[in-house]
Amino acid sequence: MRPTRRSWTIYFSLVNFTTLGRGDLNPDGHLRFISGIEAFHGFLTITASGSFMLQVIGGKALLSGEG
């Protein structure tokens, strides 16, 4: 089965967002900048969610009821 353009786009976006940076697809032009922003956004999202989970577990977040 040959991959479709949509499946490659989703794959590239997922790899970028999780900051794996596989390197098998390389964007050109302005898409290079956008993919960098997406990777940075993914890094911030993963870091923020991990930090939030640690705060919830430690009882310091708003959702813990004690913070």
- Mapping DSSP onto H, E and C, the string for 22-56 reads CCCCCCCCHHHHHHHHHHHHHHHHHHHHHHHHHHH
pTM: predicted TM-score of the whole model, two decimal places: 0.70
Return the DSSP state at 18.
T
One digit per residue, the tens of pLDDT, for the chain of length 67 reads: 566 788 888 888 888 888 777 777 788 888 888 888 988 999 999 999 999 999 888 887 666 555 4
C-alpha angle 38/33/49, rounded to 5°? 20
Closest residue by Cα to residue 51 from 39, 60, 38, 41 = 60
